[in-house]
Chains A and B, each alone.
Chain A
């Protein structure tokens, strides 16, 4: 069974990025090369079934938007399905479906990605379609207005109907003073409502180009087979002049923040406690590796510290854990969550969580904990080989933030080299009161509401 949590999405994100140690230097047998126009290509062979995952990642996300235009990267992702001169009127999805393909797209802070899962003999087809829409998007004002409404519904569904999501959005906006990581990927309602066709197309032309894209193909194909296809289909697209990827950076953060959100719709109290943290891309990487292991020690399984101490032994929580998202381009976050047990107040749950953090900072993690976590992460990496699409996502997301194929492939070895001292040093570096933001969600009695 799964232990639900407000931060469950983060937990999944961690699972995805928790693969570990391998004896072979190149555990997944991946190969990579770069086309003459600057497009990077990664191939991850897996010949168990005659199917392929084809992904194109763009190094652009919501943190590359301009102030006041939040949500444009995500709206563009939706509009990429509307059509081109060659493949008009939503024919893209129609053709993929006719060929038995599954497809979708996603937008995050640092990247936007498009993928199709298809039978091996349909690879060339989806490559042609994807290459065509890299620079050939053709949309009307009407397309933009209708799709904007769809996105606003998506926002109402994902955020505005969910007290926990509302608090998380507000907490993030409080966490960052200057960096656009404080903006929601889906955009603020009033700013999305005002986005226009011209703005979207301008954003598209500035960011969608082969030298800003990564092709990841995983499945029943070899690099030898893919290279000539990639050169013919993607290689002819002219590179664009790209702006440097420089976002506003955070000033020193000197004061802890505390948000309490009461919502009549919230039936269960919960608490998040989040700190700013360096990433693999910002460095220092020793800290990032240390934080990765730390999050596993605290929260990787039901035998981990927070679950065992707070849920099993003290019985003050029904769920408790920690997460780290180390794969972003700029300064990211390390966080904790706790959901009090029935009959336990949020104050008691917070005190218990804080006692764990104090204990961690005073006495550190143990060699046994670190050894066990490494062994689990190593096994996770072997399990990950059963799902080659998850490995493709790992390569894509790392390359999209400027990390290299080599850095992905040395990750398991680097994790294995992490020492107890490095984990404890990372904890001391990151768990400082000045960057702490606490978010508390509280239910209110119906009579007090409104």
Chain B
């Protein structure tokens, strides 16, 4: 269970941070098909005796039924809490005795499962993964325990200015869409969830037509096919068609969430681009120059380095399946919150009108292409990357082509996309704290 809005798109971000020789090149990836028709992307890596299998079902928290917000997230905490004949503690013991690592997680747009095992324990690990997905028990004890843990998490979030700012931002950006709902749910919705709700969700949504799979490690193609077929082959072939509407993030309001903290947390954003938009890579390069990775960005220079206003000031591109978002954040002492927001708006006005400099463009492209191999330096990194590429339907050639897409972005592209996206007056702003110099234009709700 990771943090809210960022989840679905987390994969994209790291996918896109990425010219240099890449060890995990397209040619190293084997694309296999199991007897029941499940496609698997495999990278063999025999140098360490471990195997990682990563899966994702399309869907995720966006599929929480009306009135049952938080169901999918809570499910991610329950699937390793008992299955088949094994009650919760017996299941956990079986994992622990062979140091098998099995976990589940949800994003807005996908539900993830992750298995890592020593290759010598592959058979037991495969069986536990199969049980978790095919025969989960949802016994009363673990259901109550996990419910309690999530509820206490909600109580703690209530004191956390970052959690409060992000939650309010989601609500404001997507008031009439499933993306505006809290992934963790609310006290009321969590209380009402039953074992039957989880079982129904699993039957209807963990289906073979929605799953993507990657395997990396000390394992052959033959053994990979057998493992994946065993884990996933027994799932229903098809789920109902996914019917989530596309949406556009709302803009223009400034909201203050009053909290008694010495530092204001600013979260700000604008509608962004979907993953298949022709300007996506231009927007990605633009964001790098504004506030993306690395320490030399406009935000870092103007907010932190020149003025000492904040410890961090950064921005990211989020491409959810049904909405694009450009999002930034900063933390600054209450007395200087207004000044910080002014500086950010000035940067947006300037870049929208003038684009970025030739130097900034070169720097951004070099950073993005040069850092790509760093994302592929471990089995886990490669497995996650292969999963993201499949979820985004980019094709296995993407591993080799990706840096070319970044290098092809021109100054005109960036200028065009900056004018298209960076409307400083439309900035949606949420501030948690006691900010001075910021006048709210909307209520918290």
Residue ranges of A at the interface with B (Cβ–Cβ < 8 Å): 1-4, 48-51, 81, 90, 93-94, 96-103, 117-119, 121, 145-154, 156-157, 160-163, 219, 264-268, 301-303, 308, 311-312, 315, 318-319, 339, 341-342, 372, 375-376, 378-380, 382-383, 385-388
Contacts and interface: CB of A to CB of B under 8 A. Distances in A.
Interface in B276-312: 293-296, 304-312
Given A48-B23, A49-B23, A268 B263 contact: no
B104 A1 contact: yes
Given A150-B310, A150-B311, A49 B376 contact: yes
B310 to A, nearest CB: 5
B123 interface: no
B185 to A, nearest CB: 14
Interface stretch (B237-245, B249-257, B377-385): B377-385
Nearest to A160: B262
Nearest to B288: A97
Contact of B93 (A146, A219, A303, A342): A303
A1 B79 CA distance: 10
Contacts of B261: 160-161, 265
Q: Which 4 residue pairs across A and B have the least CB separation, nearest first? A: A100-B370, A149-B308, A379-B99, A156-B263
B152 A342 contact: yes
A49 B155 contact: no
A162 B48 CA distance: 41
Contact of B378 (A2, A93, A119, A386): A386
B149 A385 contact: no
A3 B309 CA distance: 34
A49 B332 contact: no
A156 B262 contact: yes
Interface string B352-389: 00000000000100111111111011111000000000
Contacts of B378: 48-49, 386-388
Interface stretch (B156-164, B204-212, B267-275): B156-164
B152 A121 contact: no
Contacts of B153: 4
Among A96, A97, A117, A375, the one with the most B-chain Cβ atoms within 10 Å of its Cβ is A97
Contacts of A146: 305-308
Nearest to B146: A1
B349 interface: no
Contacts of A151: 311
Contact of B263 (A119, A160, A219, A387): A160
Interface of B: 1, 19-21, 23-24, 45, 47-50, 76-77, 88-89, 92-93, 96-99, 101, 103-105, 116, 118, 141, 144-146, 148-149, 151-153, 155-156, 158-161, 259-263, 293-296, 304-312, 331-333, 363, 366-374, 376-380
Contacts of B312: 157
A264 B261 CA distance: 11
Contacts of B152: 4, 268, 318-319, 339, 341-342
A153 B311 contact: yes
Nearest to B295: A93
15 contacts: A1-B146, A4-B152, A101-B374, A103-B295, A150-B310, A160-B261, A161-B263, A163-B159, A219-B377, A267-B156, A301-B96, A308-B89, A319-B149, A339-B152, A378-B99
B166 to A, nearest CB: 15
A430 B48 CA distance: 38
Contacts of B116: 383
A386 B48 CA distance: 7
Contacts of A94: 295-296, 363
Given A102-B371, A382-B50, A161 B103 contact: no
A97 B377 contact: no
Contact of A153 (B19, B263, B370): B263
Secondary structure of the B contact surface, majority rule: mixed
A50 B373 contact: yes
B66 to A, nearest CB: 24
B99 A375 contact: yes
A98 B377 contact: no
A375 B98 CA distance: 8
B156 to A, nearest CB: 5
Contacts of A149: 307-309
Contacts of B159: 163, 265-268
A394 to B, nearest CB: 16
Given A153-B309, A153-B331, A1 B20 contact: no
A161 B263 CA distance: 7
B145 A315 contact: yes
B171 to A, nearest CB: 19
Contacts of B306: 146
B294 A386 contact: no
Nearest to A143: B305
B118 A379 contact: yes
Nearest to A103: B295
A359 B255 CA distance: 52
Contacts of B103: 1
Contacts of B331: 153, 156-157
Given A160-B262, A375-B99, A97 B311 contact: no
Contacts of B368: 100
B363 A1 contact: no
A302 B332 CA distance: 38
B156 A157 contact: no
Contact of B1 (A2, A145, A318): A2
A162 B263 CA distance: 10
B77 to A, nearest CB: 4
Contact of B333 (A96, A121, A156, A385): A156
A150 B308 contact: yes
Contacts of B293: 102
B54 to A, nearest CB: 13
Nearest to B369: A100
A100 B156 contact: no
B305 A90 contact: yes
Contacts of B296: 90, 93-94, 97
B373 A382 contact: no
Nearest to B100: A379
B77 A97 contact: no
Given A156-B333, A382-B50, A49 B366 contact: no
Given A81-B295, A94-B296, A318-B149, A157 B263 contact: yes
A339 B151 CA distance: 12
Contact of B377 (A48, A93, A152): A48
A406 B23 CA distance: 32
A254 B22 CA distance: 59
B162 to A, nearest CB: 9
B273 to A, nearest CB: 24
A404 to B, nearest CB: 26
B50 A386 contact: yes
A154 B262 CA distance: 11
Contacts of B262: 156, 160-161
Contacts of A162: 160
A219 B376 CA distance: 12
B27 to A, nearest CB: 15
B148 A267 contact: no
